[in-house]
Amino acid sequence: MNAHHRAARSWRWRIRAWAQSQQDDLEQVLEAGSHHHAAGELDEALAVRNRACHQLHTWGASSWEERLCQEVLAWIPAHSHWEATFTYRPGMLAQDQGNDEEARRQYQRSLKIDEELGNRANMATS
């Protein structure tokens, strides 16, 4: 685990220290996230994955973003802030693709979790 912790920190340092393409940054941030996950640093791994999903969404790389969300949902504890976050993201993708029914379904799932958690800010978004 300690080796994964060090590797995650190294990948994140590399992104900050080296000038490189956004694609390379993204690939390296995902590598860092994998090491955080292997080290048992779930919050860090999920924060990194969420950052990557934001970038992918900006690029319009919806299939890659959707795969990341599905992968992450397998890691996440039920009824957590992160579950609400990574349930909401596929709703955004569905809405972008014109699938309003699926978007509504995902948004409602996310809203239910946020209501259970008392997360008013995210409830307003959902």
Quick one: DSSP state of residue 40?
A: T
15 in any annotated domain: yes
Examine the pLDDT at 102 and tell me if it is beyond 80. Answer: yes
Task: Provide the whole-model pTM.
Answer: 0.80
69 in any annotated domain: no
Amino acid at 58: T
53 in any annotated domain: yes
105 in any annotated domain: yes
Amino acid at 89: R
User: In terms of domains, do 41 and 82 share one?
Assistant: no
Residue after which a domain boundary falls, among 38, 61, 84: 61
Show the tokens assigned to 31. Answer: 């590598």
Please tell me the total count of domains within the chain: 2
Q: List pLDDT tens digits, range 70-95.
A: 999 998 888 888 998 999 999 999 99
Whether 37 and 45 have beta carbons less than 8 Å apart is answered as: yes
The closest alpha carbon to 33, from 16, 17, 18, 51, belongs to 51
123 in any annotated domain: yes
The SS3 of residue 97 is coil
Instruction: Provide the 10 A C-beta neighbour count for residue 43.
Output: 10
Give dist(CA 44, CA 62) in Å, integer: 23
Residues 6+ positions from 51 with CB-CB distance below 8 Å: 29
- % of the chain at pLDDT higher than 90: 48
67 in any annotated domain: no
User: In terms of domains, do 84 and 57 share one?
Assistant: no
68 in any annotated domain: no
Give dist(CA 88, CA 97) in Å, integer: 15
Q: List pLDDT tens digits, range 18-50.
A: 888 888 888 888 888 898 999 999 999 999 999
Q: What is the residue range of 88's domain?
A: 76-126
3-7, 14-18, 94-98: least confident range: 14-18
